[in-house]
Chain A
Amino acid sequence: MRGHWTNLILHTSASIYKRKNNVALSYASRSIFDVFAVIFLELFLAVISFPLYLVSKGDSAKSKSQYKIRRIFTLSFLVVILIVWLAKLILMVGLPLYFDNRQFTVTTENEGAGKPAAQSYILPEVYNTQLDASIFVPTVEKISTEKSGGLLVSGLGSAGAKIVVNIGKTQSDSASEYNNIKIYIANADKLGNWKLETDVKVFNLQPGQYWLQAMAYDETAGKKSDVSSTQYFEITQNLYDRIISRADIYLNYFMIAFIALGIFSIIILI
């Protein structure tokens, strides 16, 4: 067993020498494979030779320090890779669990490109009711995002009216548009003020441009008003959310930069 092990060390060392020669003698593009092979073999040699430093003694201080440098370099390389991938794993697995109920969005009112077909996507029971022009058409006064991430919409309507609010994405294709419509119902108070506060757990609009319409619905009389003028707003990710969502990409870039630095260092040291 020990004989096979020492033979493996001998042959690995010989392979490293051969690959280093190839790197020195070949053109840059052709030497890439050998550079990667040298890195891999050096790491492999560092691992398989580790027991040697537990069983033998008596080397000079110089050779010990050379080994230490090599070992520190190799282990640092491995440790950094490990840390980066662990960080990546934590960000990818842990953060969605922790921030599951948070919506990192900012709402801005904005003129969108697409316009909804009026009354097309409202609740069926509302859609099928008769349009009554005498019913006061509610207005939308404010669209904003709460700190918790929920959407806050408020406006004016007739006192005690039921306000149906439709929200849709302006850039949805026709096939999926219906499914993307969100319908909320608010109740106007005695003064006609209505306010819609969406639950962050239910409200989960992705970043993008949206339209919003409101109409009054008289359940008892089975009548509805015309729809309000269409309001547009945009939900954008804030900086923190952008960083979190792109963490995987940033870490990959970091890994590429780190490996490139390692290759460069090894080429210099050959």
Chain B
Amino acid sequence: MIKKIMVIEDEHILLRALNVELLSQGFEVLSAKDGETGLRLIREEGPELVLLDLILPKLHGFEVLKALKSDEKTKDIPVIILSNLGQDSDIKKAQELGAAGYFVKASTDLSELSKIINKILA
């Protein structure tokens, strides 16, 4: 069964790059460019994993994460943060809110990210 991953990223080019990378690994990819749309699509589609940016229009990534974790229907969906924000306070906050992983864009190797995604979904 093909697993569904939701990517919420406001940078259009990066969103496409992530789509290409995940599609090539055999995942079905849903995408959204703002937090509000992303949250709605997660509730509608029920993906197996969410790849979430933090600085998002309409609804901040932390708000999306909080909303997902407070909803019975979506609280078990693993969420991986992929953000430009790399301060300890951001990473700590993400962990407290229940993120399954945290990647800083500037130092992320997508192959490492893929390994984590595969490990979580295994």
Which chain A residues have a beta carbon within 8 Å of chain B's beta carbons?
A: 2-3, 6-7, 9-11, 13-15, 17-18, 45, 49, 52-53, 55-56, 58-60, 62-63, 66-67, 70
Contacts and interface: CB of A to CB of B under 8 A. Distances in A.
A18 B16 contact: no
A6 B22 CA distance: 11
B54 to A, nearest CB: 11
Contacts of A6: 17-18, 20-21, 110
B13 A18 contact: no
A10 B20 contact: no
Interface size range of chain B in the complex: 20 to 34
B110 A13 contact: no
A134 B33 CA distance: 101
Given A18-B84, A52-B16, A63-B33, 6 more contacts: A10-B14, A13-B13, A52-B20, A62-B33, A63-B15, A67-B13
A17 B31 CA distance: 21
Interface in B70-109: 84, 104-106, 108-109
A14 B84 contact: yes
Interface of B: 11-21, 23-24, 31, 33, 84, 104-106, 108-111
Contact of A49 (B16, B19, B108): B16
Q: Which interface residue of A9, A49, A62 has the most chain B CB atoms within 10 A?
A: A9
A3 B84 CA distance: 19
A15 B107 CA distance: 10
A67 to B, nearest CB: 5
Contacts of B14: 9-10, 13
Contact of B109 (A7, A14, A15): A7
Nearest to B19: A56
B13 A49 contact: yes
Contacts of B17: 6, 9-10, 49, 52
Contacts of B24: 2
B87 to A, nearest CB: 12
Given A7-B109, A59-B31, A66 B12 contact: yes
B39 to A, nearest CB: 16
A67 B110 CA distance: 23
Nearest to B32: A60
Given A17-B84, A56-B19, A45 B13 contact: yes
